[in-house]
Amino acid sequence: KAVPFVELTVAHASVLTILAISFERYYAICEPLRAG
């Protein structure tokens, strides 16, 4: 019964990680002075 919950948690964690990296890259490109 716990397997679907674990799969959902891992999936959400992966999506959040990808989103975080995407925002970081976006900031690095759009705000080079502030990010640097």
Domain chopping of the chain, boundaries: 2-35
How does the average pLDDT of the chain come out, rounded?
88
Q: Would you say the C-alpha torsion 4, 10, 16, 19 has a positive or negative sign?
A: negative
pLDDT at 35: 54
Q: What is the pLDDT of residue 32?
A: 74
- pTM (whole model) above 0.75: no
The predicted-structure confidence for 2-12, as pLDDT tens digits, reads as follows: 889 999 999 99
> Nearest 5°: CA angle at 31, between 24 and 16?
15
Phi, psi of 31 (to 5 degrees): -130, 60
14-36 b/e with 16+ CB inside 10 Å = b? eeeeeeeeeeeeeeeeeeeeeee
